[in-house]
Amino acid sequence: MDASTEQLRTLAAVIDHGTFDRAAAALHITPSAVSQRIKALEEQSGRVLVRRSKPIHATEAGAVLLRLARQVALLEAEAAAELEGGDGTAASPIPLVVNADSLATWVLPALATVPDAVFDITLDDQEHTIDRLRDGTAMAAIGSDPEPVQGCTVSALGTMRYRPLASPEFVARWCPDGWTAERAAVAPMLIYNRKDALQDRYLDALAPGAHPPRHFVPASTEFVAAAVLGLGWGMVPDLQADALVADGRLVVLDEASGVDVPLYWQQWSLHSAALDAVAAAIARAAAAALRPAQPSRGT
């Protein structure tokens, strides 16, 4: 196939904005022109590339071309920056997908050290971030899967240690005589969202088959705040918990147990000054904030 830059840019706009009309407005062309470009690209590829839903989604074949579209856009922006006398670092947005706890603790300071970069950050559970690489949403991801996505490289960053914590008031009410399987089976539990399996992983080891009440709190900082306020117990990373434990606002329920979550950096196998700069910043910050990493793998 012979996809043009214009067609690829239109495909990315349709997926990013969700409708042909919004893509047309972003590209300053008519909705009819958007439709014609997508139709021509589908005819050239011999595949249906987008699902005409609300919002529009890429098909499996569309995700392949969406990744190509984002790669072309990044390289174009870097080439333009270099021709203008810069260092080749693009001002084009870099789509990243990051787990919430990393974003709330060590990732933002890392990104702040990359000059002139523009980020489009999406949150997802660490066990699901690579889905955004597969569908073309992101150029790079921080997650817990060590297996590289096709066309990507992966580097081990380190591990985040999570421990079961609750407020002193929660402890006094639900487990004054100690944290046991019987108490854990009935004490309210905090869950980040329905993808979050950390609490269940710990609970299955302590009290198999238990189904305590659950509060869903889908924001990292507010999740910790809910624990401090006594709504429930939850698995909190040491990076967020240490200061709260030190000043007595949170109590470790089980000193002997915890969950170590390995984190990996995955990015497209693409020579890009912008992506390389971001990867280096992430690696430096991870080395300072996380426990030691496992060996790297790649494709």
169 and 244, same domain (yes or no):
yes
- C-alpha–C-alpha distance, residues 289 and 236, integer Å: 15
pLDDT of residue 87: 56
Task: Supply the DSSP symbol for 151.
Answer: T
pLDDT of residue 32: 95
Q: Is residue 187 part of a domain?
A: yes
- C-alpha–C-alpha distance, residues 118 and 219, integer Å: 23
241 and 103, same domain (yes or no):
no
- C-alpha–C-alpha distance, residues 23 and 3, integer Å: 18
CATH of the domain at 48: 1.10.10.10
Q: Is residue 81 part of a domain?
A: no
pLDDT of residue 160: 96
Amino acid at 282: I
- C-alpha–C-alpha distance, residues 105 and 223, integer Å: 13
Q: Is the pTM of this model over 0.85?
A: no
- C-alpha–C-alpha distance, residues 199 and 182, integer Å: 16
Cα R_g (the chain), whole angstroms: 22
Give the Cβ contact number of residue 11 at 10 Å.
27
Provide the phi-psi class of 123: left if phi over 0, else alpha when psi is between -120 and 50, else beta. beta
pLDDT of residue 92: 72
Strand partners, 142: 265
Domains in the chain: how many in total? 3
- Beta strand pairing call for 214-216 and 189-191: parallel
175 and 266, same domain (yes or no):
no
**Six-digit token string for 261:** 């979550």
pLDDT of residue 256: 87
Angle between helices 31-45 and 60-83 (to 10 degrees): 110
202 and 256, same domain (yes or no):
yes
165 and 255, same domain (yes or no):
yes
pLDDT averaged per 10 residues in sequence order, the chain, 299 residues: 88 94 95 95 93 91 89 84 66 86 96 91 85 83 90 94 97 97 97 93 94 96 98 97 97 92 92 89 97 60
Full domain range(s) for residue 33 = 5-67
28 and 107, same domain (yes or no):
no
pLDDT of residue 299: 44
Q: Which residues of 190-208 are buried (b: 16+ CB within 10 A; e: fewer)?
A: bbbeeebebbeebbeebbe
174 and 248, same domain (yes or no):
yes
